[in-house]
A and B are shown apart, each in its own frame.
Chain A
Amino acid sequence: MKTRKKFSRKRRNTILVIVLALPLFAGDIALIMRGTTPLAEIGLPFVLTFAVFIALYSIIRHKGGEKIEYDERSLRIEGRAFAYSWYLSFYAVTLLLLNDNLGLLKISSGQVLFLIIAVMLITFFINKYFLGRRGDLED
């Protein structure tokens, strides 16, 4: 009997990310478009969306047969990604301090916190993605 070739795990995970992320973030964008949530206050909904997204993604990955979530390679890569993210966040905080001293942009404390969280999360995932693709920390 001819069997249909299944999606590779990597492709399945990519599709999963898109399927999960699109409606969640579309909801946040809809909030802005409707005007019920001003742009300046969108930080919290985005952070909550991100938390829900990560929780759902972890549950589905676990149920999807990923028996081993972490191993020495993934832990090494995540550790390095965290370290890079920490450095970049430190620079972001320094820039925000400089901005405050020079009075260039008027931003609320809520926006500052949102910016820092965004920098931490985004730089972590970007670093993790690129280190993961390379295979190892050293060439």
Chain B
Amino acid sequence: MITHIREFRARLDLTQNQLAEAVGVRRETIVYLEQGRYNPSLRLAHSIARRLHATIDELFDFSDEK
């Protein structure tokens, strides 16, 4: 899984901490999400997408998986 959270976060000048607090998760979870090592729940993906003014499709790319 490839994520574009970091790029969208940078555009809004948000820190990992600020994003984590906004969506109600630990900063560590944002770190793993940005590295594509954590598969979030639909609810969390939706919260992040809303906070970053993006769609889930824009943030998460599963095209590398079969």
Contact = CB atoms under 8 A, between A and B. Distances in A.
Do A and B interact with each other, yes or no? yes
Main secondary structure of the interface of A (DSSP, over half): loop
A27 B29 CA distance: 36
Interface stretch (B4-12, B32-40, B50-58): B32-40
A71 B39 contact: no
A71 B32 contact: no
A67 to B, nearest CB: 6
Nearest to B31: A135
B14 interface: no
Contacts, number: 39
B27 interface: yes
A135 B25 contact: no
Contacts of A138: 39
A71 B21 contact: no
Interface size class of B (residues with CB under 8 A): 10 to 19
Main secondary structure of the interface of B (DSSP, over half): loop
Interface string A107-135: 00000000000000000000000000011
A68 B37 contact: no
A12 interface: no
Which among B24, B27, B28, B44 has the highest number of chain A CB atoms within 10 Å?
B28
B26 A73 contact: yes
A68 B39 contact: no
B2 interface: no
Contacts of B29: 71-74
Q: Which 9 A-B pairs have the closest CB atoms?
A: A135-B37, A71-B25, A135-B32, A73-B29, A136-B38, A135-B38, A68-B26, A71-B26, A71-B29
Interface of B: 20-21, 24-29, 32, 35, 37-41, 44
Interface of A: 9, 66-74, 134-136, 138
